[in-house]
């Protein structure tokens, strides 16, 4: 199954699988509270009738509420202490996300339409 570009995913609620999670440094995220611009990057693969679509979500490391929401969406307890010790637990977990489509304004992908995670939802087993 091929992975399609994220722009082919219609906005709405989708169920997918976390295929990657890592902490990275992103200069545009730097702030007085996050001088190194650290963020949790989570990759989700969603299967559609046309194939698999991959979307990424980057969560500022200081946004502990959203990080907790990501873990809860994966059916996990939010981590206490060092986040780096727990991110591997996300990989392979089924999640439910609300997506929306945006047009990238800057950078190498300027003008491209793509799907992004708007909200991480508590996974409902009956769906």
Domain extents for the chain? 3-121
Radius of gyration of the chain (CA): 15
Q: Which residues contact 81 (CB under 8 A, 6 or more apart)?
A: none
The pTM of this model reads 0.84
Classify domain 3-121 by CATH number.
2.40.50
Q: Pairing mode, if any, of strands 38-48 and 113-121?
A: unpaired
Whether the CA torsion 64, 69, 70, 75 is positive or negative: it is positive
Res 1: pLDDT = 35
The rounded percent of the chain whose pLDDT value lies above 90 is 61
Rounded Cα distance between 93 and 120, Å, is: 13
Structure tokens at 44: 């989700």
State pLDDT tens for residues 68-119.
999 999 999 998 888 888 999 999 999 999 999 888 787 777 787 888 899 9
Mean pLDDT, residues 4-30 taken together: 85
């Amino acid at each position: 199954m091929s992975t399609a570009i994220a722009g082919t995913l219609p906005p709405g609620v989708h169920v997918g699988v976390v295929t990657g999670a890592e902490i990275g440094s992103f200069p545009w995220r730097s702030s007085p509270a996050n001088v190194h611009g650290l963020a949790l990057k989570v990759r989700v693969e969603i299967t559609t009738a046309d194939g698999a679509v991959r979307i990424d979500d980057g969560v500022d490391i200081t946004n502990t509420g959203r990080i907790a929401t990501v873990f809860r969406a994966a059916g996990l307890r939010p981590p206490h202490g060092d986040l780096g010790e727990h991110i591997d637990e996300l990989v392979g977990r089924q999640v439910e996300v609300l997506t929306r489509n945006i047009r990238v304004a800057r950078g190498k992908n300027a003008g491209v339409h793509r799907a992004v995670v708007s909200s991480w939802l508590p996974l409902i087993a009956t769906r």
